[in-house]
Chain A
């Protein structure tokens, strides 16, 4: 067997790949579920915190800033490990899936709150005053005047953050979540062949590369022209 054949036989073994394809596909489903949950809850909570912050209640804002800082400074893997291995000592024992979901949702919440908040504060005070003086309520001003402008400004940084945090679903493998990397690793140790790992890697590229390319496009489209 030539060197090339041996390489293909090892890393792209058709028999092994065919056997473990269903595992990788089910891993992809788990990764997608996890990613969507993280995005919806993380961005939702981040926006909610930013809106709460705009009410300008001092002690509440300090609390929000502390929570945001906390989840920006802790490595996501540390939060996941703490939740999965630590919480059971205090009572509730979240599954690996729930630990990964909540941890990454908290992280995305923290980052997106910062971005939403920066967007809201970037709208000049005069716009608030003008809207209020025409008779719009605080809520109407926020939702009809400030947020539509703020959103546009926040989209490029938000897409980048969301992608890099969603990629973190791979960390779930450390707490036994059966997402792509988890499935690929166990398939590799069962078959003693790295082909499943190559499939797993390909699965990530298939899932995330279109998102990265789309993000590049969005970034260019929403950038403020100088």
Chain B
């Protein structure tokens, strides 16, 4: 058992490969999280225009990407687009897929946050002479973000976990590198190492979230 899953020799040999993967996972997260946040913010700002012509297509867009598995989106971009003459590498596909998928989730969260700020706030801000954009930027958004902080963090956790899908389109992130090391060494120890790294990396965030969520749900009554 220990020989198979916690083999010290293999760990030593695989360490540099796994470490490269960890580094790439961190880099990938640092790119796709802001990208998703940016996409979500655009969606939420558009949704704050309460015109039916904007509202309905937007809702359809968000629901579509909530219904669509991210891996299918990724495979569609990676394997389907070349037939249309557009060949993108794995990394670009991950970036686009995450922008569309996680952007929709972030968008829903931002929208809920903006809705949670009472309308009187905007009216008060506007009556002091702030423009619509200024009222949004300085009055509504700061409060909105604070109100939905637990949801934003929880989605960010999911996004970081989702970067493991990159392994399917040969992006050299943690899971991909671990599987490479596994196929070289004929031993599952590298995958166990990757799992342990993911756990150590994300556990603090999970603990924090679990506290915040308990408090939020208990406080809703």
Q: Which of A37-45, A49-57, A75-83, A139-147 lies at the interface?
A: A75-83
Contacts of B175 in A (CB 8 A): 75, 77-78, 81
| Residue contact B5 to A89, C-beta cutoff 8 Å | yes
**Max count, chain A CB within 10 A of own CB: residue among B72, B158, B199, B202:** B72
| Residue contact A89 to B72, C-beta cutoff 8 Å | no
| Residue contact A76 to B80, C-beta cutoff 8 Å | no
Residue-wise interface mask of B (49-87) relative to A, using a CB-CB cutoff of 8 A (1 in contact, 0 not): 000000000000001101111111001100110011000
Question: In the complex, what distance in Å separates the CA atom of A174 from the CA atom of B83?
Answer: 22
Contacts of A164 in B (CB 8 A): 66, 158
Q: Is A201 engaged at the interface, CB distance under 8 Å to the other chain?
A: yes
Contacts of B205 in A (CB 8 A): 73
User: What distance in Å separates the Cβ of B149 from its nearest Cβ neighbour in chain A?
Assistant: 16
From B4, B76, B79, give the contact of A89 (CB < 8 A).
B4
Q: Is B24 engaged at the interface, CB distance under 8 Å to the other chain?
A: no
User: What distance in Å separates the Cβ of A163 from its nearest Cβ neighbour in chain B?
Assistant: 7
| Residue contact B69 to A122, C-beta cutoff 8 Å | no
Residue-wise interface mask of B (208-219) relative to A, using a CB-CB cutoff of 8 A (1 in contact, 0 not): 001001100110
Contacts of B168 in A (CB 8 A): 174
Q: Is A26 engaged at the interface, CB distance under 8 Å to the other chain?
A: no
Question: In the complex, what distance in Å separates the CA atom of A90 from the CA atom of B3?
Answer: 10
**Beta-carbon nearest neighbor of A224 in chain B:** B220
Contacts of B206 in A (CB 8 A): 69, 72-73
Q: Is B195 engaged at the interface, CB distance under 8 Å to the other chain?
A: yes
Q: Is A205 engaged at the interface, CB distance under 8 Å to the other chain?
A: yes
Question: In the complex, what distance in Å separates the CA atom of A173 from the CA atom of B210?
Answer: 31
Q: Is A204 engaged at the interface, CB distance under 8 Å to the other chain?
A: yes
With A10-B84, A121-B218 as given contacts, are A216 and B195 in contact (CB-CB < 8 Å)? no
Majority-rule SS of B interface residues: helix
Contacts of B84 in A (CB 8 A): 7, 10-11
Question: In the complex, what distance in Å separates the CA atom of A89 from the CA atom of B217?
Answer: 43
Q: Is B179 engaged at the interface, CB distance under 8 Å to the other chain?
A: yes
For chain B, the count of residues having a C-beta within 8 Å of the partner chain is 51
User: What distance in Å separates the Cβ of A12 from its nearest Cβ neighbour in chain B?
Assistant: 11
**Beta-carbon nearest neighbor of B163 in chain A:** A75
Q: Is A138 engaged at the interface, CB distance under 8 Å to the other chain?
A: no
Q: Is B180 engaged at the interface, CB distance under 8 Å to the other chain?
A: no
**Beta-carbon nearest neighbor of A200 in chain B:** B72
| Residue contact A11 to B83, C-beta cutoff 8 Å | yes
| Residue contact A197 to B164, C-beta cutoff 8 Å | no
| Residue contact B69 to A168, C-beta cutoff 8 Å | yes
| Residue contact B187 to A204, C-beta cutoff 8 Å | no
Contacts of B218 in A (CB 8 A): 118, 121-122
10 cross-chain pairs, A with B, having the tightest CB-CB distances, nearest first: A86-B188, A208-B67, A73-B202, A75-B161, A170-B69, A75-B164, A89-B4, A118-B217, A167-B69, A209-B67
Can you spell out 24 A-B residue pairs with CB atoms less than 8 angstroms apart?
Answer: A70-B199, A72-B210, A73-B161, A74-B161, A74-B199, A75-B163, A78-B198, A82-B191, A85-B179, A86-B5, A89-B187, A118-B214, A153-B220, A153-B221, A174-B168, A180-B72, A181-B69, A197-B80, A201-B68, A201-B72, A204-B67, A204-B72, A212-B66, A216-B63
